[in-house]
Each structure stands twice: as structure tokens, then as C-alpha cells.
Structure 1
Amino acid sequence: MRESHTRALASLDDDANVTDLLVRRAAEAPDHVAFEVPPPAGAGTDAWSPITTAAFLAEVRSLAKGLIAVGLAPGDAVAIMAPTRYEWAVADLATWFAGGVVVPVYESSSASQVAAIVSDARVRVGIGGGPTHIALLTDALASVDDTIGVWGMDDLPALSARGAGVSDDELEHRRTRAGHDDPATIVYTSGTTGEPKGAVLTHANFLGQVRNIAAAYREVVHPEGNTIIFLPLAHVLARGLQLICIASGMRIAHLADPAAVVPTLATLRPTFLVVVPRVLQKIQAAAGEKAAAKGLSGVWARARATAVAAGRLAERKDAGLPRRIPLGHRVRHAVFDALFYRRLRAVMGGRVDYMLSGGASLDAELSLFFRGLGVPVIEGYGLTETTAPLTGNLPGRIASGTVGLPLPGSTVRISEEGEVLAKGVGVFAGYRDPRHDAEAFVDGFFRTGDLGRLDDAGRLVLEGRVKDVIVTSNGKTIVPVRWEAAVEADPLVQHAVMVGEGKPYLSALLILDAEQAAAWAASAGLPFDAGTPAGLRAVDEPRLHAHLQRTVDAANALVSRSEQVRRFELVVADLDDRELVTPTLKIKRTVVVDRAAETIASLYRGAPS
């Protein structure tokens, strides 16, 4: 199968632009709690404060009037640079109510990156989360003509007060001015393989995604549910999820620090979470470590295997295939549920019905494990240019190892070269700079740059990046993603980078998870320097290397001989370095190869060809 399509489930005729999503929801359920905000720092309480849809709308309208009062014109760009927090949502919607275009800036961006975005998007207003963000935006706007100013999120009430003289009629005129084809946001891609590009997403792109995804996932996103958004709101997935929740009445809490999520789960008890695979790996690894500390490693291994088996049985049921559940399996599952599974669900708050995983490939066995616990993981796939999800598994139709069917209103095609091509309601029309469009489209389809295939049911299976293929000196073309994903399933490995372009065999760099590696070293009585270097630093620890050799051997067993890695080195790196890692935590392969040139060269010295 070379093309798969899912028909649209929703019409966009009732919505002129994105602001209608909030206006309609506020009219339907003004007193419904839309957000929960944390107590002020130092308040000494864990109580989160509710904010109704009507109260949120009032804040949005007030800030929009303030933006109009200070001179924001229709179509003007507003840059928002801040950690994930409630005020981000207010500023986002207020910009649209005032007729502006939102330009999100990752809070970790460097001064040069901020300056480039502000200049390219011709930003007139900046909104920063704190002093550092305000300073970066202020410096960047200083080099742009005809700017208005920069405000901090803690100063937004003062900006809102400046709009007291703006009438409701004027605001309504501004709010309803934009149509389906007008730009809603310019999102600059994180640039794993090249320079960042400004993707222009329209109001129709957001409306098409929100309405169709909400219709397809009613079991997941609904007024009785709640979620925690801790992904950066500069990421289109987080903003798309936020709009879906606002339109569907699902309660939202924001957290800026991912490390604070687990301690907060017991308080907020979400029904749905969006995570990256690394979070799931760490949850599983932490449970294994606790079991080992109690001398229960063998019992935990059997519990893991039982959960995976339960996940497979559940997926057979989803697929309508016959399944027989042996009595022994039911007994084991009940025992392990009492010992482990119930506690893991409690760690996640005890109410999670589903999790959505994206941002990287999810190991099929890890997906089955969580399904067997009773917390299905919905894996999806998308890009900035597709306004977040393009494909996704659906409740009751999850197939681990795939990223699901095209979402309603979308089509996926596989080119002759194996590249994933996309068309549909969320697919953008082009970049801000038309020069970037020349190679981005073919036959009306967007070229994703990802390799994949469609299974017999039309579900997408990802197989790597077009630009990440390696051609060895003997002419073999290697797609490293399967091997790398298998190694990255080890909690000690943050990133695996296969190398070998033009070489007689394949090697790899294993970038360690410094925290996990330090803990392993401590348990083994070994010294380990967890300090983050300015570049990449090789780790010479034979016992750790020998330990991870087993992980490499297991990954090699999954691939053909020509795809196997012969030698590898362990390295540590500063994973907060945005020249090395994108804001969405993807490693920049070319930067790794450049910085680790000497280490890579050592992998080919004195070795047989």
C-alpha cells in the first residue's frame, strides 16, 4: 500500500477563525473549570486555583484590548518567549483576539536565535516570561524598525489596563477580521538537519486539526477529563493540544519543569498525559530499580513479561482476532497487579486513562508493557508543518510499533524512495521564505523528510530520516533508526548515534544519561564524573562499557549483519546546549559528528576492515 486516507469528521464552516473555539465554549459552559493554576511561590499550599472558561475569556479579552491600545495592528506579529504557564495561554489567545499573529520562541533559545526570529517575522510586540526572556526580546526588537515594546508576563495586568478605552465593538471587529486562510502563527522549526524555517500555519490549519482530532478522540478528550501540559508551549503540539482541550472542555494545568510532573500527579490526578518515550522508559526503569533494591529483580522480570503479554492480548482484541487468556496468565496478572501494576498507576495519579507518546519512536514492547498495566499509550506522528499530529493510533485500535492511521482529513503517501508525504487539513501552505518551499512539496504533498511504509491496514510505520541514512564504503545504505531506538531503550543511554559514512563498518556513540549513569556507577562502587562538558567528552570506564555491550549486542541481533555496529564509545554531553540538541530534545546528528570527530576517528584506528 502506497497511500492511506481518512475522511474528515468535522466541518469548519461554523468557525471563522481560532478565536471562535473559545467564544463558543464560553457560551456553552461559562462556569466550567477550564484551567487550574498553581499557588504562588512561598504560599505554603498545594491547592491549585480553578479558572472558569468565562474568567479565562475575560482575561483574554482584556489583554487583547491592551494590545490594541498600545498600537498592535491587524496582522502584526507578537513574539511569546516564556516557560509553559497559564499566562502563555492568555497571551496566545489575546493576540488572536486582537488580530495579531503569534510567533512562539523557545525559552532556551540563544540571543542570536531570538534576534533571527524577531527580524524574520518582523515582530512588533514581545511578551517574556521573566527577566532573561524580557532582556533577550528587548535586545532583539531594538534592531527592528517600528516596534511597540516588550512586556513581562507578570506585567500583563498593567498592559490589560491600558485597553480600558477600547470598546467591545472594536475588539469584536478585530477578533472576527481574520479568516481561514490568514496566518495564525509562524513557528520556526528546530532545525535538526538545517537552518530553522518559519512555517506559516493558518487559522484553517488549527481549526481543521482541533475539530477533527476532538471528534476522533472523544473518549480521550472530554469535559470530565483533565491533563497537565508540561511540553514547551512554543511547540505546536502543546498549543494544538491546548486548543483541543479548550474547545472540548478538558481541564488544563501547566507545569514549566518536567521534573515537577510526577510529584504533582497525585494532586491533579490527570486522565490524560502527553509524554515523550523517554519519560515512559524512566517510569519503567525506576520501578525495576525499586524492585532490585528489595531483591525482587526476578519477580519484576516476570511481571514485565506478563504485562507485555497482556498488552499483546489486548491488541489482538482491538484487531478483532481470536484470543484465549490462559488461567495461569490471569492469575499471574492479578498477583503482579497487586505487587507492581497498581502502584505504577498510582504514581501516575491513579486516573490516567490514556497517554499520548510523540517526539520520538516508541519501542513496541514498552508500549505493550503500559497497555498491560492498564494505561494504553497512543502513539502518534506529526511535524510543525502538519500543525502537530498527522497520524495516530485510536482508542480501541492501537497497534504497537506503528504511529497509526492518517488522522481525519489527512492523507499519507509513500514515495518511490520511501519518503512519507502528507496532505490534509493540518498541512501548511508554505514557509515564510518562499525559497524554502522549492524542495518542500511534490505533487501537492508536503515532503516530511521521514522514511516509512504503510502496513496492510494503512497504518504508518516510521523507518528513519531521509538525511540520516549512512552509506558505507562497500556501498551499503543503512537506516540507523531501528538500531538506535533499541539502544536508547536502555535507561543509561540518552541518545545513540550510529556513524560510518564512507567507512568499512558501522560504529556508534552512546551519549549517556548522566543521572542514570552516575547512579549505576555509584551502585557498582565506581567513580563517575557527571559534570556536563562544553562539547562531548569520552567516558573511559571498562565496566560500564562492558555493561552496555549487552545492550549493543541485543540491538545488533535485531538487524542484518550489514546494519550491525562493531565498535562504540561512551560519551557525555551538555544536553541543554541548543546547538547540539533541539528544543524538542532531538539530537543534531551533524553537530555530534563534528564535535566528536576525534572520538569517531579512534573507532576506526587499528581495527580490521
Structure 2
Amino acid sequence: MIESSTPPLAALDGYRNVTDLLVRREADAPDHVAFEVDRNGGWQPVTTREFANEVRALAKGFIARGIRTGDPIAIMAPTRYEWAVADLATWFAGAVVVPIYETSSPSQVNAIVADAGVRLAIGGTPAHAELLQAALAHADAPTLGAWTMDADTPHDSGPGAAASGTLDDLVASGTDVADDEVEARRTHATQDAPATIVYTSGTTGEPKGVVLSHRNFLGQVLNIAAAYREIVNENGNTVIFLPLAHVLARGLQLICLASGMRIAHLSDPSTVVSTLDTLRPTFLVVVPRVLEKIQAAAATKAADKGLSRVWEKAHETAVAWGRRAERIDARRRIPNRRGLRLRHRFFDALFYRRLRTVMGGRVGYILSGGAALDPELSLFFRGLGVPVIEGYGLTETTAPLTGNLPGLIASGSVGTPLPGLTVRISDEGEVLARGVGVFDGYRNPAHDADAFIDGFFRTGDLGRLDDQGRLFLEGRLKDVIVTSNGKTVVPTRWESTVEADPLVSHAVMVGEGKPYLSALLLLDPEQTRAWASAEGIALPSGPIDDIRTVADPALRAHLQRAVDAANALVAHSEQVRRFSVVLADLDDRELVTPTMKLKRNVVLDRAAVTVNDLYL
């Protein structure tokens, strides 16, 4: 199959723009709890009406300060409730949202503010406001200052001030703006008007400004909500800890808001596990690394108790049970394996139930996106009783393009096109996309030249469709390696297999123009430190200025097993002969994107000496 489509489930008729999602929800269920907000040391409920009132009040502040329809407003902050208020308030004021990752460097902030023509900016902290204020100072046209979400931030109006004020100050300045003025601004934008400009993270080149329309958001929100009504509804709740600067998190927030699903925000992902027991979500959205760490932590805890062999059996049983569940989904014959049922019941009491409790005890489904999910990891969580729905999408597709559905999960696949979307596979194997969520073009028209073909967006990813229209990803078009022997190698399968080892954060296969393949294995600092401590091994410590080689024999021996396992899955010509183990600063945004995707070209440039040594 070279093309797969899914018809839309929702009509956009009757919706003016994205703000109608909140307005309709407010009319239908004003007293329903829409958010749980961490205030005064506890989680406080915020109803839909209360949220909408805060949104309108801030929108009045924007208008009072001089924001015009169509003006870009930048938001740079960690994931928090105020992000949601600022996001919707920008639209209520008739403006356009420009999200900036809170970890962005000054040069990145300057470039985005200048390219988007930002007029007003919102920072989460004084430090963010200072970066934004400095960027606005270089603007060609008059700007309206940078404001901070932190209510207790000191400020002044003199030259060089870190912030022009707080959100509370903005709200106070808008008290004289009439409700009718806000309503006129809110309804000004049509479905085809720009809603947001999102700058890509630039894993394979310079960042590009993706212009997403109100139609893109409405189409995705309404259709995805219809497709996943079993999961996203007013009886459920979720915790958002992915960056709200990422379109996936913002899309999820809108879907939940429109569907009545309660939302809590966490700005520090490291606190997620400790908070789940309090918030008890029914649904979570994660990147695969989170699932890998949950599994690794369980294995470590079992090892500490001398139960490593028992855990290995529990792991095997969970995977087998997950595979059994997928056979049931596919309506295939299920072997009568009484022993498997007994083992699953035993390990459920010993391990699985405790893992579900760690996740809050109520999680019915987990959505995984942002990177490839190891099929065995998906089966493992399915065997625990928490199915993982893997999806796939890009900024240019307004988040999800494809997704597995409840009751139709196939590990290893990222699912079928979501309602209103079409996927086509080109002759070169590239995944092409068209439909309601696909953008019309970049802010800079020059970036559109190679972005579309025959009305389809070129994703740059390689993939295939099975006979049921499900998409299987097979790597990046630009990551393909051609050796000196003329062999074309797609490294994704080998790399993802090695990355299943908890100690490996990223695996990078190299070998362009070389006689054989090699690899760099970038360590996960946290997991590696824990492993080294348990093994009684001293590894290099201190800050990491650049990519540093680690030559510990025991560590190499441990990782050799992961390399051997990956080599066993690929053809001889695709196997890695040599590898180097390295440490890098994974918080360096010049090296790793905010969504934890590695910038391969930057890695290869910085590790050029190490790579050359692999071919001596």
C-alpha cells in the first residue's frame, strides 16, 4: 500500500477560530473543574468559568498595552498553568502566539523574536523576561516589553529593566477595556488566519517558522477528541509535563480543555513520579525515555532485593501477555496457555500492581510520541495493564499525523492516519502528509521550495504502510548512510535497539564513505552513575564542556552486549564493528533539542576526532 486515508469524524462548521473551543465549553460546563493548580503548597481546582475569566482579563491587559490584531506575542516559560492562560489570552486579544522553549539560548531567542516580529513577550521567570527584553531591544519597530508570570518579581520602568511588569500588572492595566472589545478581538480571526508560529528545533538544519492556522488546530482537536473519546473525556484527568512550547503539549491541552478532561501542569519532569500518587491521572503523554526509566527503575529495585532473575521472568511474562493482548485485538487465535495466565497472575501481585501504583493507580492508557518506541517496551507495558498508544507527527502537522487506537494497538507501528489526514509513501520511501492538520507553509517562503510535492508535505522520514494502512517508520531520509562499498544503510533499527539499554541515551551510527560502520554511544548520566555506583566503578565526574570519551573496560563490556544484540537483528553489512562510549552535556541546546532529539550533525562535528579514531 502506498497511500492510506481516514475520513474526518468532526465538522468545523460553526467554529470561528480556536477560542470557540473554550467559549463552548464554558457555556456547557462552567463549574466543571478544568485545571488543578499548584498553589500555596497544595493542588487547587480551577473551573472552566474561572479559567475563562482569567483569560479575558489578561486579554484586556494585552489590548490596553497596545496589542493589535495579528500581533505576535512570545511566551517563554516552563510548563505551568499561567502558560495556558497566556496562550488563550493571546488568541482572545486577536494576536498570534510565538512559543519559545524555556531552555533556548540567547542567540535562539534573539533569532525567533526578530524573525517573528514579536511585539510583546511573556517570560516565566525574571531570567526569561531578561532574555526576552534584550531581544526586544533590538527590534526594528516599537515593542511593548517583556512581562513575567512570577507575581512577586520586582520591576521598574527604567532603562535596562529585567521586566516591564507581571501578568498581574497587565491584568490591572486592562480593567477599563470593555467586554465588547475583547469579544470583537476574539472573533476577528477566521479559521484560515495564523494562530501560532512555532519554530522547529533544527535537528537537520536551521530552525524554520511553522505557521499553523486556527483551522489546523480546530481540525486536529475536534477529530482527535472524537477518535479518542474513550480516553479523553470529562471523567478523566491528565498531567502535562512536556514543554508547552511543543505543539504536541499545546494540542493535548486544547483537546482536554474542549473535552472537559482535568489538567495539571508540572514544570519539573523529575517530580512527575512523586506527584502521580497525588494527582492520580487516567491518561499520560510521555516520550519513550520516560517509559524506559520506569522499567529500568523497577529492574534496579528488584536487583537491590536480590530478585534480578525473578524480575527477568516477570519481564518475559509481561511481554508475552502484551503479545497475547495484541492477538486478541487482531482477532487472531489465542493459544490456550494456562501457565502464562498463572505466571501473569503471580507477577501481577509481586510486581505489576506496584508499578501501576507508582503511576497513580488509575492510568488507563499512555500516549508515547516524540521518538521511536521499542516494540518490546510497548508490549511490556501492555502486559502490566497499561497499554501504550504510539503516535507520530511533526510541528508541520500540528502534532499527531498517525496513531494507534484503543483496541487496535500494534507494537512497532505508529498507527493509521488520524481522522481527516492522509499518508502517502513516495517512490523513495519518504512519508508524505496531507489533510486538516497539515500546515500551508513556513513563515519564510524560501523554506517551502522543497517542503511539498503534489500537494503533500514532505516529512523527511522514511516509512512503509502495511495492508491495513498502518505506518511503520524506518528512519530519517537525511540520516541514511552510504558506505564506501556503496551499501545504503538506514541506522534507525540498530540505534533504537542499542538505546533500549538504560545506560544509553543516544546511539549514533557513523560510516558515511567509510569501509565499515561504527558508532558513538552517548551515556545517560543519571542511569550510568547509578550503574557505576552499584558496580563499584569510578567514572569521570565534574562538568562536561564537550563530548568526552569514557574508556572504562567494565562499562564497555556491559555495552558490548547491547551492541551485539543490535548487530544480531540486522544484515552483516549493517552491523557495527567498532564503537566509542562518550559523555556529553545533554542539557546543551546546541546539541540536543528541547524534545531530546539529538542534532546528529553537531554531534559528528564535535566528536570528529573520536570518530576518526574509530577508523585508525
TM-score normalised according to structure 2 size: 0.97
The counterpart of 2:200, out of the listed 171, 189, 192, is 189
The one-letter code sitting in structure 1 at the alignment partner of 2:142 is: D
1:543-591 alpha-carbon deviations (Å, 9 max, x no partner)? 1101110110000001000110000010000001111001111001011
Q: Distance in 1 between matches of 2:527 and 2:173?
A: 50
- Asked if the contact 1:532/1:572 (under 8 Å) is kept, the reply is no
Alignment partner, residue 110 of structure 1: 105
Does residue 417 of structure 1 match 2:428?
yes
Alignment partner, residue 440 of structure 1: 451
Does residue 601 of structure 1 match 2:612?
yes
Q: Distance in 2 between matches of 1:529 and 1:32?
A: 53
The counterpart of 1:146, out of the listed 142, 145, 163, is 142
* Identity, % of aligned positions: 73
The one-letter code sitting in structure 1 at the alignment partner of 2:148 is: G
Alignment partner, residue 458 of structure 1: 469
Alignment partner, residue 415 of structure 2: 404
Matches within 5 A, 1:34-49: 34-40=34-40, 43=41, 47-49=42-44
Residue 39 of structure 1, CA deviation? 2.7
Q: Distance in 2 between matches of 1:167 and 1:543?
A: 70
The one-letter code sitting in structure 1 at the alignment partner of 2:122 is: I
Q: Distance in 1 between matches of 2:174 and 2:597?
A: 41
Q: Distance in 2 between matches of 1:296 and 1:385?
A: 46
SS at match of 1:555: helix
Residue 524 of structure 1, CA deviation? 1.4
- Asked if the contact 1:495/1:511 (under 8 Å) is kept, the reply is yes
Matches within 5 A, 1:565-584: 565-584=576-595
Alignment partner, residue 389 of structure 1: 400
The counterpart of 1:297, out of the listed 300, 304, 308, is 308
Alignment partner, residue 564 of structure 2: 553
1:313-334 alpha-carbon deviations (Å, 9 max, x no partner)? 1111111112134211111110
1:60-105 alpha-carbon deviations (Å, 9 max, x no partner)? 0000011001100000000000000000000000000000000000
The one-letter code sitting in structure 2 at the alignment partner of 1:349 is: G
SS at match of 2:135: helix
Alignment partner, residue 169 of structure 1: 180
The counterpart of 2:72, out of the listed 66, 69, 77, is 77
How many pairs were matched up? 600
1:370-426 alpha-carbon deviations (Å, 9 max, x no partner)? 001000000000000000000000000000000000000000000000000000100
Alignment partner, residue 161 of structure 2: none
Alignment partner, residue 340 of structure 2: 329
Alignment partner, residue 377 of structure 2: 366
- Asked if the contact 1:127/1:153 (under 8 Å) is kept, the reply is yes
Alignment partner, residue 211 of structure 1: 222
Matches within 5 A, 1:1-40: 1-40=1-40
Q: Distance in 2 between matches of 1:532 and 1:445?
A: 45
Alignment partner, residue 89 of structure 1: 84
SS at match of 1:495: strand
The one-letter code sitting in structure 2 at the alignment partner of 1:445 is: F
- Asked if the contact 1:568/1:603 (under 8 Å) is kept, the reply is yes
Residue 221 of structure 1, CA deviation? 0.3
- Asked if the contact 1:514/1:530 (under 8 Å) is kept, the reply is no
The one-letter code sitting in structure 2 at the alignment partner of 1:64 is: A
Q: Distance in 2 between matches of 1:505 and 1:89?
A: 50
- Asked if the contact 1:33/1:50 (under 8 Å) is kept, the reply is yes
Alignment partner, residue 277 of structure 1: 288
Return 5+ residue gaps in structure 2 as ranges: 151-165
Residue 530 of structure 1, CA deviation? 4.0
The counterpart of 1:61, out of the listed 53, 56, 64, is 56
SS at match of 2:119: strand
Does residue 260 of structure 1 match 2:271?
yes
- Asked if the contact 1:125/1:150 (under 8 Å) is kept, the reply is yes
SS at match of 2:39: coil
Q: Distance in 1 between matches of 2:336 and 2:195?
A: 51
Q: Distance in 2 between matches of 1:421 and 1:162?
A: 47
Q: Distance in 2 between matches of 1:538 and 1:552?
A: 17
Residue 540 of structure 1, CA deviation? 1.1
- Asked if the contact 1:36/1:51 (under 8 Å) is kept, the reply is yes
Alignment partner, residue 476 of structure 1: 487
Quick one: structure 1 residues 339 and 264, their matched pair in 2 at CA, closer, same or farther if it must change by over 3 Å?
A: same
The one-letter code sitting in structure 1 at the alignment partner of 2:146 is: V
Matches within 5 A, 1:339-354: 339-354=350-365
Q: Distance in 2 between matches of 1:580 and 1:290?
A: 32
Residue 495 of structure 1, CA deviation? 0.3
Alignment partner, residue 159 of structure 2: none
The one-letter code sitting in structure 1 at the alignment partner of 2:502 is: P
Residue 528 of structure 1, CA deviation? 1.0
Does residue 136 of structure 1 match 2:131?
yes
Q: Distance in 2 between matches of 1:269 and 1:425?
A: 33
Matches within 5 A, 1:371-382: 371-382=382-393
SS at match of 1:228: strand
Alignment partner, residue 498 of structure 1: 509
Alignment partner, residue 550 of structure 2: 539
Alignment partner, residue 514 of structure 1: 525
Return 5+ residue gaps in structure 1 as ranges: none
Residue 532 of structure 1, CA deviation? 3.9
TM-score normalised according to structure 1 size: 0.98
Q: Distance in 2 between matches of 1:207 and 1:525?
A: 55
Quick one: structure 1 residues 509 and 532, their matched pair in 2 at CA, closer, same or farther if it must change by over 3 Å?
A: farther
Q: Distance in 1 between matches of 2:85 and 2:119?
A: 18
1:308-354 alpha-carbon deviations (Å, 9 max, x no partner)? 11101111111111213421111111000000000000000000000
- Asked if the contact 1:473/1:501 (under 8 Å) is kept, the reply is yes
Q: Distance in 2 between matches of 1:456 and 1:534?
A: 49
Q: Distance in 1 between matches of 2:167 and 2:601?
A: 41
The one-letter code sitting in structure 2 at the alignment partner of 1:119 is: A
The one-letter code sitting in structure 2 at the alignment partner of 1:477 is: T
Q: Distance in 2 between matches of 1:355 and 1:420?
A: 25
- Asked if the contact 1:208/1:426 (under 8 Å) is kept, the reply is yes
- Asked if the contact 1:532/1:573 (under 8 Å) is kept, the reply is no
Q: Distance in 2 between matches of 1:604 and 1:261?
A: 43
The one-letter code sitting in structure 2 at the alignment partner of 1:137 is: L
The one-letter code sitting in structure 2 at the alignment partner of 1:99 is: G
1:262-310 alpha-carbon deviations (Å, 9 max, x no partner)? 0000000000000111111111111111111111111111111111111
